Chains A and B, each alone.
Chain A
Amino acid sequence: MAASKSTNTYNRQNWEESDFPILCQTCLGDNPYIRMTKEKFGRECKICDRPFTIFRWCPGARMRFKKTEVCQTCSKTKNVCQTCLLDLEYGLPIQVRDAALSIKDDMPKSEVNKEYYSQNIDRQIANVDGVQAAGAVGKAQAPSDLLMKLARTTPYYKRNRPHICSFWVKGECRRGEECPYRHERPTDPDDPLADQNIKDRFYGTNDPVADKLMRRADTMPKLEPPDDKTVTTLYVGGLGDKVTEENLRNHFYQFGEIRSINVVQKQQCSFVTFTTRSAAEQAAEKSFQKLILKGRRLNVKWGKSQGQQGVTAKSIEGGKEPQYEPVPGLPGALPLPPMPSDGSQPSNFFNLDQDDAQLPPLPGGPMGPMGGGPGGPPGRLPQGPPPRMMQRQQPPPPGAFGFPPSTFPSTPWLSWTSSIPSWSSSPTPGDTSTTSRCQTPYSSPRG
């Protein structure tokens, strides 16, 4: 350690001089006019024990005078304010910021190691310009969502208040009105936030404030993908009058091909279905709690399987949907055709010739919220293989599609069934196919 300014300056940790402090807005206070004193080598840095330039100012009326506590080298290593040791960008404790940005910055803490490290950092900083933070923090600078959510939006001037009057706590304060210290109850000594240590806060270990924040981060609402792997639908609520299908399409197309978008204007919600599950998951991740269209924050959640409006976000609704008794006499629901997980073209599950343009336009049927426009679009429906399934060359994989012919329903959302020569003689609305009059176990002849 340099004992005076003229001894060896080569390869030693030197006393630090600076012209202007590195401070955050909260520490500076609310008054734009500040008088600050500068004292060369006024105190030792609380971390690296080097004499450095102390700046001292009053952060506002009835605030205690604050001064810089750590030297500029230490504050630049961690990109923090010299007084409060909170991050300059987010105002969060070092431990929280490092956890969120996955920065592992192992500063040595023992005496000689510490000096050696800070002397090297000093030299590095002298070579780089002052804008980027030195060390690990400067390199990892992708803006983090979590940090932005945790950060405060307004400055917290309570930090700058005077300390508690210890005489008053004992009942002995003789200064009365004039006492500049706070006459309030001191904080509970059992509170874990009461024992904070500047070295712990700086090195990012054992910081009770950071622990509290990270616990809060864990309890923030998270969107879990539903366990049902076939669901690729996102429920988007809170549309209002301004957000249109076009807006939704323009936003969501970046995540993958949109299978369909259905807007229910009456309930101000919509359902966006993707063709691939991974696209849907990405869209959910990027839009949950973040999507703002036309100035409205949209409520994005997972939708239930097609046709039903529902919520499966994990932490929000613990209750179950009311389970209804299956209506007797109706056949059960068909399983969905399997969707390929790698996002290749929608399933050629039935191994049919693609682009068969000779298909008759399929009648719409009650398509449910999934279906999109009224009536089937002419040509190939993306969800319905053409009604030649009866002549399929390969048998379907067992379990995925196997249904005995007797359970052949006219399910509303699989419109292709309606154009197959129907075995059922109970026509669905809009069904224009011929209905045979043969009897099936499930229906009696009409008419």
Chain B
Amino acid sequence: MPKVKRSRKPPPEGWELIEPTLEEIEQKMREAETETHEGKRKVESLWPIFKTHHQKSRYVYDLFHKRKAISRELYDYCIKEGFADKNLIAKWKKQGYENLCCLRCIQARDTNFGTNCICRVPKSKLEEGRIVECVHCGCRGCSG
């Protein structure tokens, strides 16, 4: 089923240009939701969800803030309809958080000692050539 529109008003101009890409990413999200859990860790099943979510928001953020290819109106429309995450984009605007993977990884209340996730540690500070896949979103390092 096509995505249900949340507002009654028709989408602003430029919508037709971005709609196919957004639709494609939506489709990917649906697939991630319906995948089986076989052969995966319990947490690993959720990683594609976070990845796709990041991807969608990234597309919209890129178009508006970086490439300035869409209008403010269309940007607000995308956020309102749920194609991009407002809070995640707010973080990307901050220095040091430009490539943040997901919002869970900076939530200090979720950790035992009130720290950020291991994926937030820059690779230069993380010794031993260690590969990390963070447990929340499977990120391999989002700031270094």
List chain A positions with a Cβ less than 8 A from chain B.
35, 37, 61, 174-178
Contact = CB atoms under 8 A, between A and B. Distances in A.
B132 A178 contact: yes
B39 interface: yes
A35 B113 contact: yes
B131 A178 contact: yes
Given A35-B113, A37-B112, A177 B39 contact: no
B73 interface: no
A177 B113 contact: no
Contacts of B39: 174
A425 to B, nearest CB: 90
A81 B132 CA distance: 32
A40 to B, nearest CB: 15
A178 B119 CA distance: 13
Interface in B101-144: 112-113, 128, 131-133
Contact of B131 (A35, A174, A177): A177
A111 B128 CA distance: 49
Nearest to A179: B131
12 contacts: A35-B112, A35-B113, A37-B112, A37-B113, A61-B128, A174-B39, A175-B133, A176-B131, A177-B131, A178-B131, A178-B132, A178-B133
Contacts of B112: 35, 37
Nearest to B40: A174
B42 to A, nearest CB: 13
Contacts of A37: 112-113
A178 B129 CA distance: 10
B76 to A, nearest CB: 40
Contacts of B128: 61
A285 to B, nearest CB: 52
Given A37-B112, A37-B113, A175-B133, 9 more contacts: A35-B112, A35-B113, A61-B128, A174-B39, A176-B131, A177-B131, A178-B131, A178-B132, A178-B133
Contacts of B133: 175, 178
Contacts of A61: 128
Nearest to A61: B128
Nearest to B41: A175
For the complex of A and B, 7 pairs with smallest distance between CB atoms: A178-B131, A177-B131, A37-B112, A178-B133, A35-B113, A178-B132, A174-B39
Interface in B48-82: none
A35 B112 CA distance: 10
Contacts of B131: 176-178
Nearest to A178: B131
A175 B112 CA distance: 24
Contacts of A178: 131-133
Contacts of A35: 112-113
Nearest to A172: B39
A359 to B, nearest CB: 84
A395 to B, nearest CB: 89
A176 B131 CA distance: 9
A31 to B, nearest CB: 14
A169 to B, nearest CB: 17
Interface string B83-100: 000000000000000000
A157 B79 CA distance: 53
Contacts of A175: 133
Nearest to B127: A61
B38 to A, nearest CB: 12
A35 to B, nearest CB: 5
